[in-house]
Structure 1
Amino acid sequence: MIQLVAILSVFVLGIVFSLIGAIKLKLAEKLGIDDAKVGGLISTLMFTSIFVVLFIGPLVDAWGHKPFAILGFLLSGAAIFLFSTLKSYKGVVFACILLGVGGMCVNTVGNTLMTVVLFGGQNAPAALNFGNMFFGLGAFSTPFLAIFLIHRLGLSKTVSLIALIAFAPIIFALVTTTYPALPPAGFDIANAVALLGNPAVLVAALALFCYVGLEASMGGWITTYLTSVGLPAGKAGGILSAFWIAIMASRLGTSGVISPENGVTAILALALVAAVSIFTMTATRSNALAGTAVVVTGLAFGPIFPTIVGVTFSKINPELYGSVFAIIFAVGLLGATILPAAIGILSKGKTIQKSLIVAAVTALALAVIALIMGRV
């Protein structure tokens, strides 16, 4: 049962992060807002998440996983339901704030719990690769569910159904009794603060700044890139789906072979593959090669996030996993706010294809950081 709580936590996180993108066209029509204000909703979710995760992480270490699993499923479901009922932009901004709080609860619970309850608690990188496949499943299935149902049921009923899916795992969170025990000596906030000077934590934070920024950039710009090189919109959307499937597949595939011992080598190799594939995207004039490079990038991306977190956890006392995750994920979210915007700004007066050079250089920077990670 505890394994279900961990896996369903990251599944719901996938729903949280994909919801606005999945319903943005109909939501904008309902609220009478333009793309800039839709972007404002996404920014609200991201900035809320950055600040909230810094508090949730240490609190999970102090109070345990159960209260935040319950709170996360409750708030995520409630926030999504508000999207179906509220009719004002300010109201939906509030829903985004609530969604950020709920999302960071399930995020922290899922990613810290999986390392303890999967693979016997002995292989954090493998556990996180396997578990985070379900994050991809949540993020991938939400847009498909929205597309399929909105034309049949309308926006309100569709979003209400997604809210129910996000809320339902609270049953498992409530009835599960086998959560990890709190440390006998209690939680000392000084130990959490001291992590800010831990080289392993700081290097992991830089690595996630690069990786989360890369994933957000690819997810946000792939269809624009593919249509700019001549692919029709429908095919571009299909390749974007293949990108996310590749991420899920590579996480599942590597969960059987990844370990704390080979994790840094894997990050280095995968970052280099991603750099080459993104450089290829910036240079090719072939539609087929462009699509292939996108899918290869997804395959390379998949294991990087869970392996960075897992390798870092393997160097830290499990009693501080929540605090560690709070620091490194908050920095990762900063990357997700800065890098996609930088690519967009650079594309003005150029093409999105040429501006992806920023992503390629970031992948190379991640490879360099992986080398440092192996030494701290």
Structure 2
Amino acid sequence: MSVGVRPAPPRLRPLAVYGAVTAFAMIGLQQALYGPAIPQLRAEHGITAAGAAAALSVHFAGAILGVLAMPLARRFGVPDGRFMSWSLVGVAVGCLAFPLAPGWPLALLAAFVAGVGFGGLDGGVNQIFTEVYAEGGHGMLNLLHGCFGVGAVAGPIAIGLLPGYGWSFVGCALLALLAVPALRTASGARSAPTTAAGTPPAPLAARRRLGSLGGMVSLGFLLFFMLHVGLETGAAGWETTHLIATGLSESTAATATSGFWLAFTASRFAVVPLCRHYSARAIVIACTGLTVLAATATLLDGLAPIAYALLGVAVGPLFPTGLAWLAQHRPALTPTVVALSMVGGIALPPAIGLAVNGFGPAAIAWAMIILAVAGLGTVIGLARVRRTGLPVAAPAVEADAPQI
């Protein structure tokens, strides 16, 4: 049985690409604002550090809801561009209301609303890009996610330079509103699988085998993204603690953590030209192997700061390039993957914290190694399943948007 896809007409215009890039830089900025704002939030609302950190948890809870809303909106016939516009407005409303809220419960509600918009954009833009650039488009996905990293780096800087955290959230809201006209033109390629005419159906045993392999691939990708995002957030969240334990000062350790994010962002842009010559699968395998090497090097106190920067280089391209690889096999799984990756980012760093409580800061390096090795094993398993003959989804469209 040969499986094809009915091609949809090109739908992603250059204006939509620019809107998506702006929106991703904006949500990177938005996510990065909560942490640096904690001291001012505590002083303004009279809350504990844990209470202030609840803003980020509420943000991600809303984000998961926003991610899962994309496929639901499509079922009801809502155009992609309209859904993206609503998501941008949600971000703008939440970001404007957050600093203006008279009490902490209302501020958390505003963070939740902004999070729903964040998730709608994160899941929606990723879904559209993986559909339009399903074949050989991992350069575009890395460019998109590199812009997210630029926003994330700019967030703490904005908090430090502007007079009060509220102005940073207002700037985020303005960026969201400015992106509405451009992103409103965005639309993915919703193609339905069809059996080629004149091709006899495959034997029942073959269909069952393909179904079993397809299930293995889906579970493998879900596990890979959860492990990868757990490694990313775990390294970023616990690097400073680990480096202080090796003898570095707090300021030096914090600077090294900034280096992780800079390396993380730079690697996404650096890998774009490589996408012309190497498949998404090859880049994911290479970067995942590099995470094992870098994570192992964090065991050496003298090399730990460099090892974490190398880990940032290795981790950076994994999410966008992994989405491109996923689109070749299970494009409809994108919203689920994005949502579950957020769960991994929420659950795994606290698990590392429990290990630190029990075994000390040395457990951080071992946690990085375990996550990296598990990720590499998952990727190797996915590659082996692919070699057994699982069909690859045909590219859905030839888009008229800029190509990398």
TM-score interval, normalised by the smaller of the two chains? 0.7 to 0.9
Secondary structure at 1:366's aligned position in 2? helix
Report matched runs for 1:107-256 at 5 Å.
107-115=122-130, 122-149=135-162, 153-174=163-184, 176=185, 179-180=187-188, 198-256=215-273
- Give SS of 2:301's match: coil
Asked if structure 1 preserves the Cα contact closer than 8 Å seen for 2:294 and 2:310, the reply is yes
Instruction: Tell me the distance in 1 between the aligned counterparts of 2:164 and 2:360.
Output: 36
Runs of 4+ that moved beyond 4 A? 180-185
C-alpha distance in structure 2 between counterparts of 1:366 and 1:253, whole Å: 22
Aligned to 1:191: none
- Give the corresponding residue for 1:330: 339
Residue equivalent to 1:87:
102
Secondary structure in structure 2 of the residue aligned to 1:356: helix
Is the alpha carbon distance of 1:313 and 1:256 closer, same or farther for their aligned partners in structure 2, counting shifts above 3 Å?
same
CA shift for structure 1 position 50: 2.5
Partner of 1:305: 319
Aligned to 2:40: 26
State the 1:269 CA deviation. Answer: 2.5
Moved more, 362-371 or 125-134: 125-134
Higher Rg of the two aligned structures: 2
Q: CA deviation at 1:184?
A: 9.1
198 and 241 in structure 1: CA distance in 2 versus 1, 3 angstrom threshold: same
Hey, what's the Cα distance between the residues in 1 that align with 2:257 and 2:245?
14
CA contact (8 A) 2:23 2:176 kept: no
Specify the code of the residue in structure 2 equivalent to 1:161. Answer: G
Q: Distance in 2 between matches of 1:122 and 1:328?
A: 19
**Paired position in structure 1 for 2:396:** none
Rounded to whole Å, the distance in 2 between the matches of 1:107 and 1:235 is 33
Structure 1 stretch displaced more, 138-147 or 269-278: 269-278
Q: SS state of the match for residue 257, structure 1?
A: helix
Using structure 2 for the length normalisation, give the TM-score: 0.80
Residue by residue, what CA displacement relative to the aligned partner does 1:15-72 show, whole Å, maximum 9, x if unpaired?
2321211312211221111122123222222233234322323424753320122112
Deviation at 1:310, TM superposition (A): 0.5
Q: 1:238, CA displacement in angstroms?
A: 2.1
| Alpha-carbon distance in structure 2 between the residues aligned to 1:129 and 1:181 | 20
CA distance in 1, matches of 2:231, 2:159: 25
Matched AA of 2:292: A
Distance change (3 Å), C-alpha of 1:52 and 1:154: closer
Out of 270, 274, 277, the residue aligned to residue 291 of structure 2 is: 274
Residue identity matched to 1:144: I
> 1:57, 1:234 → 2: CA distance?
44
Counterpart residue identity of residue 32, structure 1 = G
Distance 1:181 1:258 in 2: 22
Match of 1:341?
Answer: 350
After superposition, where does 1:32-111 map in structure 2 within 5 Å?
A: 32-60=46-74, 62-111=77-126
Residues 124, 311 of structure 1: 8 Å contact kept = no
Q: How far did 1:182 drift? A: 5.6
| Distance across 2 between alignment mates of 1:179 and 1:327 | 19
- Per the alignment, residue 300 of structure 2 pairs with 284
Residues 314 and 9 (structure 1), Cα distance of their counterparts in 2 relative to 1, 3 Å cut: farther
8 Å contact kept, 2:28–2:152 = yes
TM-score between both structures, scaled by the size of structure 1? 0.86
Distance (Å, rounded) in 2 between the aligned partners of 1:342 and 1:173: 38
Distance 1:28 1:58, change over 3 A: same
- Which deviations, in whole Å up to 9, do the C-alpha atoms of 1:102-133 show, x marking residues without a partner? 00111123212334566xx6423222112110
Deviation at 1:13, TM superposition (A): 2.3
Deviations 1:232-281 (A, max 9, x none): 22222222222111112111121222379632232222222212222221
Q: 1:206 to 1:88 in 2, by over 3 A?
A: same
Q: For residues 342 and 116 of structure 1, what CA distance do their matches in structure 2 show?
A: 34
Separation (CA, whole Å) in 2 of partners of 1:184 and 1:308: 22
